[in-house]
Amino acid sequence: MTTVRTTVAEALVRFLIAQKIDVDGVEEQLFPGVIAIFGHGNVTSLGHSLEQHRDEIPVWRGQNEQGMGLAAAAYAKAKQRRQVLVATSSIGPGSTNMVTAAGVAMSNRLPVLFISGDTFASRLPDPVLQQVEHFGNPTITVSDAFKPVVRYWDRITHPAQILTSLPQMVCTLLDPADCGPAFIGLPQDIAASAFDFPVSFLERTVHRIPRYGADAQQIASAVELIKGAKCPAIIAGGGVHYSRAEAQLSEFAHAHGIPVVETVAGKSSLLASDPMYVGAVGVTGADPANELIRRADLVIAIGSRLEDFTTGSWTLIPEKTPILAINAARFDAIKHAAVAVVGDAQLCMQEISFQLGGHASEAAWLTVASGLRQDFFDFVNSRVAPDGVWPPSYAQIVGAVQAQATDEDYVLTAAGGLPGELNINWLSQSIRSFDCEYGFSCMGYEISGGWGAAMAHAESANSAGGDVYAFVGDGSYLMLNSDIYSSVLSGKKMTLLVCDNAGYAVIERLQRGQGGNSYNNMLRDSTGPGNLVRVDFAANARSLGAVTISVGSMEELATALAVARQETTTVAIVLDVRESDWTEGGAFWQVGVPEVSDLESVNQARARMDQGLTGQRRGR
């Protein structure tokens, strides 16, 4: 066996460079780049090797380790899990900063590779700088904090271990059913250690994401269910995107007369102009789409993990209504006693459609769906229409951006009130053009994620002339805005819509909506006497290198959007937004309301909650 003697860090970098992926017949780098903040745990070995290979694997400097991971997650989403960015940090706070981002990737089933420095495997210099010591278990380091939020976790304590660990890591990142983030911990002495690695380990390897067909009996059961249904409806989830099954979804829906609603993760699976599209479903969805699911006698969930915002905390799908779940992950496919079809969405729809032949839903059901579709569009039009009052609602801002959007643009948001506003009111003009991080609902994702999406968007042949629009509230902006600077430094343009309603308004809405008093959410009731100071977001964004435009009318917003389109660097459009003018969803949501309280309003809210739970699905 031919070997090469080199360090673990060098072998790791060369291994990453050697991994390729076949994307629709085109060979790409599986790991096209690294986002890094170097410290004493990763700069002297891993950082040195990355610098030596800077022409083969680019490294972008992050400003915050959480932001690095969020950018990598958004990149993976925009790439439909076909390519993976690496985020690397030092051993202490840099490492723990990435844990939240790992949680985002884990809950959204997105591939990100986290590489963190670690304490010395020998333990001879312990305790080292940034080491957290556990008196009763010296094997524990902060790297262990990643275990609940990654699919694959390993700490390398001997150079030979990477020979088996790294291939397993890659397979996890690319597995359609088990996809999620991976973590590799590199103790400082191990990263610097030399070993005789087989040359074959470092040679070019081309990967292809496998497509697994379902069991024949599962397909037969699905066909039987669909043929027996008079009013079936499809819930399209994020798995439609990851399978790149959007065309098959439209063909399936049209061929068999099955209307479609979309989850937050599944949005832009269909064009808004598709006649089978009835809108956004769930808590952040609209009444017409939810009514379609309530009336359906079969719900076909394709690539959805069926979380509470989709199912209305399992009150939206009646107990008597069967669920057919097509999903690459068995874990998701069997939820709530669903009839499971475990396999790739594209292959499964094709096989089910073939066996259905010319079978289609009754014309009367499609008439119902068409009416609900029209109700949905009428509702959206009423919400986005300007009313001459300033500041505008979130929905009106969405409408203003939509009015100038092209089918090359990409839209992104997360957390707070914006997910509901965009999920309902944004009408997709192109496939795979929307990202709302709502699996972890992570405030701060919007700007970092916008940077990651801009990286991916810049590499896409279909995005020529298109922009990435990131909608961010004032609360999220204050949590994590430093990646405005990252986007400027890296030359990856995005357009930020910074919407200021002076607080955490959507949580205040929940607080008051469940009988509580407004407290510690809005600036007006979370400051000391005379200390209400509003942030100058335009000045802040300008200081980070963005072109900034403050607007005070809908006409100025339209002009600002046109100006932003012509800019070549990141733009921040800053405007006030109404504190409480929300696009109402049409689904129940279970939250923890006190069973007893001194506030009668809370007792009443608990009674409403208990009443809502009477319709909660418990099984089948």
Residue 156 CA to its chain's centroid (Å) = 29
Which amino acid is residue 72, in one-letter code? A
Pseudo-torsion of CA 459, 461, 464, 470, nearest 10°?
-50
What are the tens digits of pLDDT across the range 352-371? 999 999 999 999 999 999 99
Handedness of CA 456, 81, 104, 38 (dihedral sign): negative
Residue 463 has pLDDT above 70, yes or no: no
Is the separation of the CB atoms in 90 and 116 below 8 Å?
yes
Residue 618 has pLDDT above 90, yes or no: no
Secondary structure (DSSP) of 13-64:
HHHHHHEEEEETTEEEESS--EEE---TTTIIIIIHHHHHTTTTS-EEE-SS
**Of 500, 70, 274, 517, which is closest to residue 262 (Cα–Cα)?**
274
Calculate ∠ Cα 347-452-54, nearest 5°: 105
pLDDT at 586: 82
Across 168-194, average pLDDT: 98
Residue 521 has pLDDT above 90, yes or no: yes
pLDDT at 372: 98
Query: Three-class SS of residue 517?
Result: coil
Domains and CATH numbers, the chain: 3-207 (3.40.50.970), 216-377 (3.40.50.1220), 385-576 (3.40.50.970)
The pTM assigned to this predicted structure is 0.97
What are the tens digits of pLDDT across the range 529-584? 878 899 999 999 999 999 999 999 999 999 999 999 999 999 999 999 999 999 99
Query: Three-class SS of residue 479?
Result: helix
Q: Which conformational region is residue 80 in: left (phi greater than 0), alpha (psi within -120 to 50 degrees), or beta? A: left
pLDDT at 401: 98
Residue 465 has pLDDT above 80, yes or no: no
Residue 322 CA: distances (Å) to CA of 222, 236, 242, 301, 337: 11, 16, 25, 11, 9
Q: Report the C-alpha gap between 34 and 36 in whole angstroms.
A: 6
Residue 461 has pLDDT above 70, yes or no: no
Is the separation of the CB atoms in 206 and 27 below 8 Å?
yes
